[in-house]
């Protein structure tokens, strides 16, 4: 009985100390005044009971002013002109009208084979990217990898791979590996690696580390404890990210052909070059159906995961 | 006392063992999934004919690498209209205007596509419209707009304005459909008019997620703005493509460095702003 009450007392004391500390801290925080509030003094409202309250000035006018300046500079730099769009809007319907009346006969004749190429390219690219993404994400997560330099190097590498668009990868790899689906696959794999690893290490850092530490205390190696304690936690997120990337890659691989990386994009660029926009409409419809099917498939898998 | 304790331990162990044995044995399912993935990968790699790197390819790889290590510094500090600083400014400008136009255009469309605002048939018509916009790749939109605006940065702005609508309105619709309408009823009870209801009841709920979406899209648009250059839609993309195709890899190197830096800085800023929007002003 006595032990219990002693514990309770310690608990209560600790809680009290925390509250006091927070209040002192809060006072410190309140004393910090941002530059904005120093320039534009807060409005002081005196209440009926004699207390006064500071009401900070609205930041909206300042933000609006900055935004307007940015828009003005942007309009100057790009030569944006709304009048041109209104005057020449009828030109917009020329190509759109042709795309909206697709040439259905074109689909069985020529679309199926490059479509399969595109799907193959994005599937293999996604599998390679996601497969490499898992170990790299583990190295890049600060709660598993305690070695700071290797962590920073891997993160820098990921940041760089993510920031270069897939199209530019494809352009450079098409020059290195000669034109074709191989260059496109490598480009997709590299880009996927960047995205998957980033999303994954962010979620690895939020997992419950209790089981992992328990495994370590039993004497398990880092790999064993990660595999047993962390994998079950991140596996659903990992699969979800992979499916998201597959969807993204099928969409983007349709464009990769523009720079000669094979698949549907090659066909699209050929047909737009010849100005056969009815054919382009047919290609887009098949692409749309494929993306839609992948969407349904990944929704199904996700519903099974949760 | 001691006996009792042992008993508790024993039952605990039995519970754990029972739990362990009751876990479903997914081994076969897992093997099947791995098998399917391997089959799909094998099927996918049938079309990949790796013909080996030719000598020309090796040379290209070497010169790209060389160009990245020794970028063309003259280009980086050239303050005319061909220099990197102006091109970066133009790329950012395309993304800014494209995002703002897209974010504004998406507001009416997403209200008209939300099932809790308009009747379902109307909502589905507008959802089909959004789907149509998303379906056409951005490069194709650029080709469509070039007829209207002519080549240049203006075309890039027009393209991004349209392309942004797809994703932005998808996120807006989610925000609108999650609106808490109970607040509107309580404002009604307090005697607010329609304008006041929108100002106090709806705007605070939507504004943060709308701005957050727009900033996220700005991130994406900035990356896209570099690729639109391929079809002549302005920004840093077109001179980059030209220098790749004319094998001036030192210039490619300097463009790549600037691109990486630009994207990383913008991503960092946008993450900071969005985190602040999500948590509120601290």
Q: Which of B12, B31, B47 is the last residue of a domain?
A: B47
Shared domain check, B196 and B242: yes
Interface test with chain A among B145, B151, B227, by most A beta carbons within 10 Å: B227
In chain B, what is the straight-line distance between the N-terminal and C-terminal CA atoms, in Å? Answer: 54
A171 touches B238 (CB < 8 A)? no
* CATH at B105: 1.10.3720.10
Indicate whether B170 belongs to any domain: yes
Residues A249 and A256: their CA atoms lie apart, in Å, by 10
The count of domains in chain B is 2
Task: Examine residue B64 and state whether it is found in any structural domain, yes or no.
Answer: no
Place of tokens 């089959």: B39
Residue B57 in any domain: the answer is no
pLDDT at position B95? 92
pLDDT of residue A33: 65
Model confidence at A22: pLDDT above 80: no
3-state secondary structure of A54: strand
Q: Are residues B83 and B196 in the same domain?
A: yes
Chain B CB within 8 Å of residue A123 CB = yes
Facing residues of A43 across strands?
A55
Based on the fold, state whether residues B26 and B135 are members of the same structural domain.
no
CB spacing of B64 vs A172 below 8 angstroms: yes
Q: How many residues does chain B have?
A: 282
Identify all chain A residues contacting B226, using CB atoms and an 8 Å cutoff: 165, 168
pLDDT of residue B271: 86
Contact criterion met (CB below 8 Å) for A263 and A182: no
Residues B154, B39: one domain? no
Instruction: Tell whether ipTM is more than 0.95.
Output: no
The pairs formed by B69-78 with CB atoms below 8 angstroms and a separation of 24 or more are B69/B253, B70/B250, B70/B253, B71/B250, B71/B251, B71/B253, B71/B254, B71/B256, B71/B257, B72/B248, B72/B250, B72/B251, B72/B253, B72/B254, B73/B254, B75/B251, B75/B254, B75/B255, B76/B254, B76/B258
Number of H helices, E strands in chain B: 13, 0
B262: number of Cβ within 10 Å? 20
> Is pLDDT above 50 for B259?
yes
Cβ distance of B154 and A78 shorter than 8 Å: yes
Are residue B39 and residue B83 in the same domain, yes or no?
A: no
Q: pLDDT-derived band of residue B50, with 50, 70 and 90 as boundaries?
A: low
Host domain of residue B184: 71-279
Please tell me whether residues B103 and B174 are part of one structural domain.
yes
Q: Is the Cβ pair A168, B96 closer than 8 Å?
A: no
- Asked if the structure places residue B61 within a domain, the reply is no
Per-residue pLDDT, B282: 45
The pLDDT tens digits of the residues spanning B141-158 come to 888 888 888 888 888 899
Give the per-residue pLDDT at B96.
Answer: 92
Domain check: are B134 and B271 in the same one? yes
Q: How far does CA B64 lie from the centroid of its chain?
A: 28
Domains of chain A: 101-305 (1.10.3720.10)
Please state at what angle helix A166-176 crosses helix B203-227, rounded to 10 degrees.
20
Q: Which H or E run contains A72?
A: helix A60-78
| One domain, residues B39 and B98 | no
Q: How far is B223 from chain A (nearest CA, A)?
A: 6
Q: Is the minimum CB–CB distance between A95 and chain B shorter than 8 Å?
A: yes
What's the length of chain A? 306
Query: Are residues B216 and B158 both part of a single domain?
Result: yes
**pTM: predicted TM-score of the whole model, two decimal places:** 0.78
Indicate the pLDDT class of residue B280, thresholds 50, 70 and 90: low
B61 contacts A127? CB cut-off 8 A: no
- For residue A162, CA distances in Å to A194, B181, B239, B259 come to 5, 40, 21, 11
- Which residues, listed in sequence order, are joined to residue A44 by a DSSP beta bridge? A54
SS3 per residue for B209-230: HHHHHHHHHHHHHHHHHHHHHH
Which residue is listed with tokens 């390679």? A128
Note whether residue B59 is domain-resident: no
Residue B258 lies in a domain: yes
Do B20 and B114 sit in the same domain of this protein? Answer: no
Tell me the C-alpha distance between A176 and A64, whole Å: 48
pLDDT digits (tens, 9 = 90+) for B97-128: 999 999 999 999 999 998 888 888 999 999 98
Same domain, yes or no: B19 and B85: no
| Distance of alpha carbon B122 from alpha carbon B143, whole angstroms | 30
Same domain for B211 and B248, yes or no, is: yes
Q: Using CB atoms, which residue from A78, A96, A120 is nearest to B97?
A: A78
């Amino acid at each position: 009985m006595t032990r219990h009450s002693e514990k309770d007392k310690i608990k209560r004391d600790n809680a009290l100390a925390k509250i006091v500390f927070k209040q002192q801290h809060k006072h410190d925080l309140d004393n910090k005044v941002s530059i904005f509030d120093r320039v534009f003094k807060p409005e002081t409202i005196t209440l009926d009971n004699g207390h006064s309250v500071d009401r900070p000035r609205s930041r909206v006018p300042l933000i609006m002013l900055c935004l307007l300046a940015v828009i003005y500079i942007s309009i100057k730099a790009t030569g944006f002109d709304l009048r041109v769009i209104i005057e020449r809007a009828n030109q917009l319907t020329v190509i759109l009208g042709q795309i909206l009346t697709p040439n259905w006969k074109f689909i069985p004749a020529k679309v199926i084979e490059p479509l399969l190429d595109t799907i193959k390219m994005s599937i293999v690219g996604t599998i390679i990217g996601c497969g490499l993404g898992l170990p790299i994400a583990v190295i890049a997560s600060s709660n598993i990898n305690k070695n700071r330099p290797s962590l920073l190097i891997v993160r820098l590498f990921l940041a760089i791979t993510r920031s270069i668009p897939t199209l530019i990868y494809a352009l450079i790899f098409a020059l290195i590996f000669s034109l074709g689906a191989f260059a496109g696959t490598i480009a997709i794999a590299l880009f996927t690696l960047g995205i998957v690893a980033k999303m994954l290490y962010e979620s690895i850092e939020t997992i419950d580390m209790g089981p992992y530490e328990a495994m370590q205390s039993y004497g398990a190696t880092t790999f064993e404890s990660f595999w047993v304690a962390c994998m079950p936690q991140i596996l659903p997120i990992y699969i979800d990210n992979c499916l998201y990337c597959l969807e993204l890659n099928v969409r983007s691989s349709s464009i990769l052909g523009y720079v000669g990386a094979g698949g549907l994009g090659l066909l699209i660029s050929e047909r737009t070059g010849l100005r056969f926009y009815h054919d382009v409409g047919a290609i887009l419809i098949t692409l749309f159906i494929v993306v839609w099917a992948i969407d349904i498939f990944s929704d199904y898998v996700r519903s099974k995961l949760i | 006392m001691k006996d009792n304790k042992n008993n508790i331990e024993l039952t605990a162990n039995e519970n754990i063992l029972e739990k362990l044995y009751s876990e479903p044995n997914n081994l076969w399912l897992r093997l099947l999934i791995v098998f399917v993935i391997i089959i799909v990968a094998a099927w996918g790699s049938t079309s990949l004919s790796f013909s080996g790197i030719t000598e020309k390819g090796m040379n290209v790889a070497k010169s790209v690498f060389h160009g990245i290590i020794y970028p063309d510094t003259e280009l980086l500090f050239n303050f005319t209209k061909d220099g990197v600083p102006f091109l970066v400014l133009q790329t950012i400008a395309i993304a800014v205007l494209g995002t703002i136009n897209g974010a504004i255009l998406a507001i009416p469309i997403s209200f008209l596509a939300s099932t809790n605002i308009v009747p379902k048939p109307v909502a589905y018509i507008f959802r089909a419209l959004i789907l149509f916009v998303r379906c056409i790749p951005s490069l194709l939109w650029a080709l469509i707009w070039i007829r209207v605006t002519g080549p240049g940065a203006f075309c890039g702005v027009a393209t991004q304005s349209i392309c942004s609508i797809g994703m932005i309105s998808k996120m807006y619709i989610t925000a609108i459909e999650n609106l808490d309408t109970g607040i509107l009823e309580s404002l009604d009870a307090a005697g607010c008019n329609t304008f006041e209801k929108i100002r106090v009841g709806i705007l605070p709920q939507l504004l943060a997620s709308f701005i957050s979406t727009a900033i996220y899209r700005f991130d994406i648009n900035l990356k896209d703005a570099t690729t639109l250059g391929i079809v002549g839609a302005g920004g840093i993309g077109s001179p980059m493509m030209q220098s790749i195709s004319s094998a001036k890899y030192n210039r490619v190197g300097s463009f790549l460095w600037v691109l990486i830096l630009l994207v990383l800085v913008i991503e960092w800023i946008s993450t900071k702003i969005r985190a602040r929007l999500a948590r509120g002003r601290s």
